[in-house]
Structure formats: C-alpha cells, structure tokens
Chains A and B, each alone.
Chain A
Amino acid sequence: MNFALKVWRQKNAKTTGSFVDYKADDIPEEASFLEMLDIVNEGLIARNEEPIAFDSDCREGICGMCSLVINGIPHGPGKARTTCQLYMRQFKGGGTIWIEPFRARAFPVIKDLAVDRSALDHVIEAGGYVTARAGSAPEANSLPVPKTEADLSMEAAACIGCGACVAACPNSSAMLFVGAKISHLGLLPQGQAERNKRVIAMVRKMDELGFGNCRNHYECEAVCPAEINAMFISRLNRDYTVALTREALAV
C-alpha cells in the first residue's frame, strides 16, 4: 500500500512547527500504524534526514504512551483503540494521512509528535489515591465489595492515562480522566474516607494546570481507547457538588 503523509514537524516547545510531506510506499497491510512510521523513519535515516519523533512503548494498547492525532482524530479512526493498535488495512491505499501531536495548552510539544503529558500525573498527585501505608492493610476479604460495584469501579479504573480525551475536547478538558479516577476510587469502600477531599483537590489542580471544563461535547468518550463512559463525568460533578457543599457547611 502507498500513502501520502502530512506530518507535523516541530523542533521543540519554543519553536513553531509545520506540516511536512512524506511518502510511505510499499507498506504491508498487516503492518501497524506505528510500524508504518518506523518504515518511513528507516527511509529517512537512509537519506540522512532526522527521523520523526513520536512516543510509543508497549505497542499493545495498555501503557498509554502512544498519542498522535490522525486525520483529525486522537488515536485515529476506529473505536476503542490506541494509535499503536491501528493497522494499515484500516486505511485506504493511495490516500493522504494527516498526522499531528495531541494538542492542548496543558500538553506542550516536546518535539514533532511527542508531547509532555506530565500534567496528568500532577492531577493524580493532588488526590488520585487511597492512603494505605504498606503493612497496615486489613485482611483482603474482611470488606466485601458487591460485584456490580467492583465491576463498575474496574470500568473506570481501566483508563490508560493517554490524554486522548483532552486532545479531543474543544475545551481541552480532562474531566473524563478525572471522572474515571474519582469513580474508580469513589465506588469502592476503600475510597470513602478521602472521597470529598480527593475530588476537590483533583478538580482544583486540573483547573490550575490549564485544562478546560466539560461542556458535554462527548468527544472524549468517542475517542477513548479504554471506552471510559462519559457517565463518569456526571459522577465527578455529583461528587464535586456534594464535597463543595460539605466544605461550605463545614460538615
């Protein structure tokens, strides 16, 4: 298969970037999208041109390291998959593919297609945990958790932290990411003690780092590789309102 690529090249966060044309020729349809970029990069090196920088690690859809906006969509076409799980058979041979970095104020470009998503780590640092010192845990079965709630918690916990939700949102909101963590921990009995404190701290940190607010576009849910449901944003809003009220009333 042959493709015309329009790839965003940018030296670093301080410079501006632009699209550069490349050809991706003789690409096997069994190749993954990132393997297609590998092939292009091998060709660039052979011509003594600097290869295109992009992030990836596990290449099996779980680590959340790969990013890319492909033809305008974070993680490209297809439902519930990361960029590394895209295969070239999903693209039409002879076509043009636009490849850009995730774009959001909170995700500065490092180089070409690689961006800095450490803001998401800082949101977790603000409260996305249960305080449980190693050694102090009670027997695991001492606190039963109804299966339905454990399953729902797992659905929220499946978030891979890639940031596609932020890149897809017109407001660059991280509320699906935050909602997933609030729900994962808030649905479990272990997460109750810090529930109010957690949601207030995470939302404030999210605002401080330049993420926008949710205005119900649902773009986040549409691109999420882990199929995190937007209903978790509702849970976030509810928990946040309750926590703010309790904070105001000091109860």
Chain B
Amino acid sequence: MTTTLDSKIPSGPLEKKWEKHRHESRLVSPNNKRRFDLIVVGSGLAGGSAAATLAELGYNVKCFCFQDSPRRAHSIAAQGGINAAKNYQNDGDSVFRLFYDTIKGGDFRSREANVYRLAEVSNLIIDQCVAQGVPFAREYGGLLANRSFGGTQVSRTFYARGQTGQQLLLGAYQALAHQVALGGVKMFPRTEMLDLVLVDGHAKGIVVRDLVTGQIASHAGDTVILATGGYGNAFYLSTNARGCNVSASYRAYKRGALFANPCYTQIHPTCIPVAGSYQSKLTLMSESLRNDGRVWVPKKKGDTRPPQQIPEEERDYYLERKYPSFGNLAPRDIASRSAKEACDEGRGVGPGGLGVYLDFTHAIKRLGEQTIRERYGNLFDMYHNITAEDAYKGPMRIYPAVHYTMGGLWVDYNLMSTIPGLHVLGEANFSDHGANRLGASALMQGLADGYFVIPYTIGNYLATQMGKKTSPDRPEFKAVEQEVRDRIAKLLSIKGKKTVTTFHRELGLLLWNKCGMARSASGLKEALQQVPEIREEFWQNVNVLGDSQDFCQSLEHAGRVADFLEFAELMCLDAYERNESCGGHFRVEYQTPDGEALRNDDEFCHVAAWQFNGMDQRPTRNVEPLVFENVKLAQRSYK
C-alpha cells in the first residue's frame, strides 16, 4: 500500500508562493474561532509560540508538556543564536541568500517552497521577539548586533549571550503565560501524551498520563498539533535533555502519519568528549566558538605530548587545510566527519583518542583575553566545570555528539501530516533542513512555524470541521485508553533483571556505531538484526519498579525506551535504503575521491516517507520527489 504525497506547494514564482497561499487560505471568523478546541503537545519554541499565538487569535487551546513548567522545554538549551535575513550588517545578505544557504547547507534535500517561506518570515521573528522584550545583544548605538555562524559567509545571527534559546523561549513562554491568565490556554504541565486518537480517520484527540497522579485521561479537540521535538535520544548519549523522546511522533506514525527521512540526524562537531560509561548526557559547546577557535590535531599518530609542547609545524589545522574558504566555519556535518576521520587515523587526543583540539591561543593573542571572556566566558566556565581544565591556558578538547534530528513526521505546506487534522511543528516535522541543519536555524524554524505559519494554515483544515465536535467519551477514545493502560500494566509486570537504562544504553551504542557519523550497508544490516533482538529482550527482561498510580520516573523512561526500540529500526532501514551520502547521512560506499559526501540526485533527490503497516510487516517507503526550480543542484563545496 502506498500513499500519494501531496505537498500542496502553491504554484507561481518562489517569492510569491507564501503570499499567494495566505491569500488563498481559508479563514475562520472570530465568532467561530472560539468554538474550536486546539490541542498543542509540547511547549518549546514551536509549541509555546503556536499555543500563545493561536490563543491570541481567539481559539481555545490546551497545551501539554511533560516538564514541570512550559519554560523548561529543551529549546531553552540552544546557545548560539537565531538567523534572519535583516542584512543589518550591510554584508550582502538577503531573503534569497538565507534561502540558498539553507538549501545548500541541507545538501539539496529540502523543499524549496518551505525553505523560502522560512527565510521570508525570519525577519518578522526578530521584530516579534524584540517587541516581547527579548534582550538581544546590541551595539553601543543601541541597534541590534549580529555574529557569523557555520555554513555562511554573512553575519546574520542574532544572539543573547550564549543563551539565545533560553531568551527566545522565555519570550514565547511569557506570551503563553499571558494567554493562560486570560483563559485562552489551559496548561497541563507534567502530563505526557501517550497516544493519538483518530475519529473517522481524523486526528481528534490524545490520551495522556498525569505524571504526578498516574491518571490516564482523554482530551478531545478539533485538531492536534504536535511540537514534541526530535529523537536524538535514540542514541542514549546526545546533547538533548534527558526527557526528550520520540513517543508522540512515533505513536502518530503507528496511527498512520508518515515518518520522513528518519536517517537524517545531525552530529554536532563541538561537544565535550565522553568521559565514562556512567555518563548521562553530552554537553554541547556552542558552534559560535568556531568563530575564534581553531580546530587541530597533531600531524603525527599517537602524539601524546601536551598540546602546548607540540610546535606549530607539527599541528594539522585540518579544517583550514581542507576547506580554505570556510575554514573552521565549515558546516556541522563536514566538521564532525573531519574530526572522526582524524581520530580514526589515530591522531585523536585525550582519553581513548576520541577528541580534537579547539584552540583559542591565537584569538587571545589577537584580541586579548578580555574580549574572549566577554564573547564566550560562560562557555569557558562550563568547560572548566565539567573537565576541570582551563581553556584560557590550553586548548579545549571536543568531539562530535548527536544533537538534532532533521527527519520527522512528513507534513505538507500547511504543516499537516498525512493524518487529516494532525499538524506537526518545529523539530518534530521534517520539512526545512534537508539532510543537514545550519547553525542558528532551529530556533528560526520553531518560531516561524509557531508564530507565523500555523496561525495562517490551520484555517485550511478547521474551516472544513465546523460542527464536527467529538467527545472524549466516544468509543475510539476508550479503546486507545485501554491500549495505553494495558501497555503500562505490561511494562510493570515483566519484573526482569535489567534496568531500563541498561537497554537504552545498549541501543544507543549500537546506533552510534552503525547509524552514526559513518554508515555502511553491512553495518546497517547488522543493526537491523540486532535492534529487534534488544527489543525482544526488553519486553522479557526489563525491570520497572513503582506504581502506575503514582509519580513513577522509571515507568516514564520505560515507555519512551520501548518506542525508541521500535523507532531505531526505522532509522536504520531508512539509512540502509538511501543509497547515497547527503548532509548528515554519510554512507561510506558513496563518497568522492577526497572523502566528501557523494549525492545521487538521479535516484535519491526525494523525501522518503515511511508508512506503518503493522509490527510484523515491513513499512512502505513512499517518495516525494524534490523539484528544484530556483537553485541549481551542485555538489556542496566549502573549499
């Protein structure tokens, strides 16, 4: 069974598509808006901004998050900044250039129309955030400051120290809090969505668990909006928060939503290396550090001298050598892979040889320690706190880590999935970053979706749903509630010998080795065999302690890991079937003579959207061809 994917991209010239679509989109009158109940799952940049904005428009919104407050969503941890095509620096930026950089950075695997819209609304986001009181960095004259980021040659990144995600999220959170006070949004913190409910084929509600009381409840609405983030924690170790999970998206997939490009994962080049097996997460050091830090390894294999004792001529500043025009600002996928190559050659530094140096000595000489302290002080402190090393005196050690997932639920131009009524925003959808996301673009996309896209496109669905209210008392809800209860009961009844974390670690290590920075058909084949084995053992031998009618963190984790154990197979399958290298998906069989990713545009210039056919059936790989009318497909070159 295959599905025809209608992306609903408007006709006409690229720069007129969004305007035309807004004009042609259906409107819901103010009187009718208050008759619609909207369910928003997730309260990060995408979910928080959508919930607040939809309530401002007059809809009734219910917003759910598993954290104890909507302000804690993982968007808060984004450090570096947010891109916009303001061209305040007079350095040649434009909407088209931001569009082009994003398409190229994504290795020509994203939709032109979506990306152009993103670049178009980027400027509105900055205006909106400033109006909310986001304290962006400013010049002495009081105007906004910018910095540069990887994968671009203009300075278009707006930032608030190293805490841009935090400040943008607080802006959205405060707008959300305002709407909570006005009664437009009802907030459900510490509440986790455990399944999606379909009525007559439309997404009409969710089943949730109150994480404090353990109570299972149904919520019905006219549409469901998922803004539940990415699936990087499938790898166990990642820069994601501990709670980040794939469950909401994966449950939607099992209910019929297509999952697009699950193999597109982003490995961030600048993270603090792994220190031990007990480790619970990896810490990112903002990519902005690459503006002034120089990445190097010793030229000689197995050189164990302290970095200060290695003379200049015996150092290999490999990014500057291989990519002279972008140097240390090469895009993330390229910088990560180069670090892996250096370490694979035996030139890695630090314990286990899994690290490279990020050196500020030259920058400190050029600009003075004070300037470096002003720019990156908090990051240097963080590094010191974790490693007990002083990066003002010697280089940092960094290594790539899983950071972001470009894949996600397939959506059309209206951000609606293949299930009518199910909308997907932010990192949870697949649409804008192709096979690799550029730095400072995640915040842009989350807020674009929530503030400026979904408020316009949701009318196209809602206008068809007048008078079609459903109730959580319907049998469809009761049936899903029962499935959820049975699954929880099953998890608690196994009482095996291994902890949930043990299984999660095992899965993560397997994915990192076989479906990480470099993938091969043979490795993926092994993974496709091993993932089901781990899953089978999990359901026979996991030990989940606690009471389902109580605050029970092991149970929360168990449910999420159970979904990762299914989802991981889909990731590997997608990676196995995509016989090319592109962006973050690097298949060792497909590379240029000098080791760069080699795309296969003839056969793979498309989105792969997977359709669930039952647990014992292979999912169907549907294809949405990518048509490029405004850019020429080229091999990415950052040399």
Contact = CB atoms under 8 A, between A and B. Distances in A.
Interface of A: 11-12, 28, 30-32, 34-35, 38-39, 42, 45-46, 48-51, 53, 55-65, 80-81, 85, 87, 89, 110-111, 114, 116-118, 120-121, 124-126, 128-141, 143-147, 150-151, 153-154, 157-158, 160-161, 184-185, 188, 190-191
Given A31-B276, A111-B551, A134-B56, A154 B161 contact: yes
Given A64-B71, A150-B137, A121 B177 contact: yes
Contacts of A80: 381
Interface in B119-149: 124, 126-133, 135-144
A57 B127 contact: no
Given A57-B243, A62-B163, A143-B130, 11 more contacts: A51-B553, A118-B68, A118-B189, A121-B177, A132-B128, A135-B455, A137-B128, A140-B126, A145-B142, A147-B140, A161-B69
B449 to A, nearest CB: 12
B111 to A, nearest CB: 24
B388 interface: yes
Contacts of B551: 12, 53, 110-111, 114
Interface residues of B, number: 80
B334 interface: no
Interface of B: 49, 52-53, 56, 67-72, 74, 76-77, 86, 88, 124, 126-133, 135-144, 160-161, 163, 166-167, 170, 173-175, 177-178, 180-181, 187, 189, 212, 239, 241-243, 275-276, 278-281, 283-284, 381-382, 385-386, 388, 451-452, 455, 499, 501-502, 543, 545-546, 550-551, 553-554
5 shortest interchain CB distances as A-B pairs: A144-B142, A137-B131, A129-B174, A132-B131, A137-B127
Contacts, number: 217
Contact of B132 (A48, A58, A132): A132
B175 A50 contact: no
A137 B133 CA distance: 11
B545 A50 contact: yes
B242 A185 contact: no
15 contacts: A35-B280, A38-B501, A45-B499, A48-B543, A50-B546, A53-B553, A59-B241, A81-B385, A111-B550, A117-B69, A137-B130, A143-B130, A153-B135, A154-B137, A160-B166
A138 B131 contact: yes
Contacts of B178: 125, 129, 131
A136 B131 CA distance: 9
A157 B135 contact: yes
A41 to B, nearest CB: 8
B132 to A, nearest CB: 5
Contacts of B174: 124, 128-130
A64 B278 CA distance: 22
Contacts of B160: 154, 157
Contact of A59 (B88, B280, B451): B280
A140 B49 CA distance: 18
A131 B178 CA distance: 8
A85 B382 CA distance: 8
A57 B74 contact: yes
B279 A35 contact: yes
A134 B160 CA distance: 20
Nearest to A116: B68
B499 A46 contact: yes
Contacts of B241: 57-59, 63
B277 to A, nearest CB: 9
